[in-house]
Amino acid sequence: MTDVKHPQPGDEDPSSPGSGVPADEAPPDADVAPARKRPARKQVLLRLDPAIHDALARWAADDLRSVNAQIDMLLREALRDAGRLPRDVRPPRRPGRPPSGT
């Protein structure tokens, strides 16, 4: 059995932001016409009252979302309603599993 090292917050190599591949291990043609990649998503530890989490989980299940996706959607709506949603924010991820390689 091989040990698999899962990335932890802060493990990213600053020389290759968001790629997950250190710059010295990137393929030689990686700098040629790079595809516009979505920057790495920020990880946040959020402490919630258990009743709030349960309510969010039920709401997320009703909408066929994960709790994380539900919180993201609610924060986006709150920022938009307050006029504070940045113009350059990317649209939310599509439902379902992310494409392989992401």
Q: How does residue 97 score in pLDDT terms, banded at 50, 70 and 90?
A: confident
| Residue entry with tokens 């924060």 | 75
pTM score, whole prediction: 0.56
Per-residue pLDDT reduced to its tens digit, 27-52:
555 555 556 676 788 999 999 999 99
| The pLDDT value given to residue 38 | 66
In this predicted structure, the answer to whether residue 9 has a pLDDT above a threshold of 80 is no
Q: Among 74, 39, 71, which residue's Cα sits nearest to residue 57?
A: 71
- The whole-chain average pLDDT of the chain stands at 77
> Region 15-22: what's the mean pLDDT?
46
